[in-house]
Amino acid sequence: MRLRNIKNKQEILDQSSYLITNPEIYRGRWHELFQNDHPIFIEIGMGKGQFIIENAKRHPEINYIGIERYDTVLARALPKIDGSYPNLYIVRFNATFIDQIFDREIDRIYLNFSDPWPKKRHVSRRLMCTLFLKKYDAIFKNSKEIHMKTDNRELFEFALTSFSQYGYQLEEVHLDLYQSDIKENIATEYEEKFVKEHKPIYHCIVRKSEEILHKKL
């Protein structure tokens, strides 16, 4: 989806105390930045930020990092941070190189409405393909946990197969999240749009044991 440019985009980015543009320097040291040892949850492809910001508001006991590569998207997300949240940072970065900014310090990954990359020649760009799962092995700490939501049935089926083949256990699988009994669900901007259009939201939670992880490394 193409977003219109924002005239004061650079000003928004420069003035935000939440934006990290050089995340490589914090690799292995994110707890120093947060100044605590709380778990770190990341959202890869945070879009306009509604999901990650609301999580930070509700759960001060968790550290959150939203990752987005496009300045225009970031300029729409950053103004939504309407308070002081010491447990939140936003990173401008291409997730293809995610193992360059984290080193065994992440407890949970959120993949919300990721680009489906439907063409076969683009499979390696999907955030739940084997290439990315290997990168995630290098950034997870003790808990290897991925939460995924999408409106794309084909991508969801691909993800479930990919997770299973890589050794993840499928702990929760919902073919229509809004017909499930899930305790807490924070919606993204895309999610709200798709629900209004009466589209099912596919959701899963997968985990990987320590034993399986070490066999893969």
**Cα–Cα distance measured from residue 21 to residue 9, given in angstroms and rounded to the nearest whole number:** 14
Known catalytic membership, residue 115? yes
Which run of H or E residues covers position 67?
strand 63-68
Residue from 24, 61, 55, 19 nearest 39 by CA: 61
Q: Which residue among the candidates 99, 103, 107, 115 is catalytic per the annotation?
A: 115
CB neighbours of 144 closer than 8 A, spacing ≥ 6? 136, 137, 168, 207, 208, 209, 210, 213
Structure tokens at 64: 């959150």
| Active site residue ranges | 115
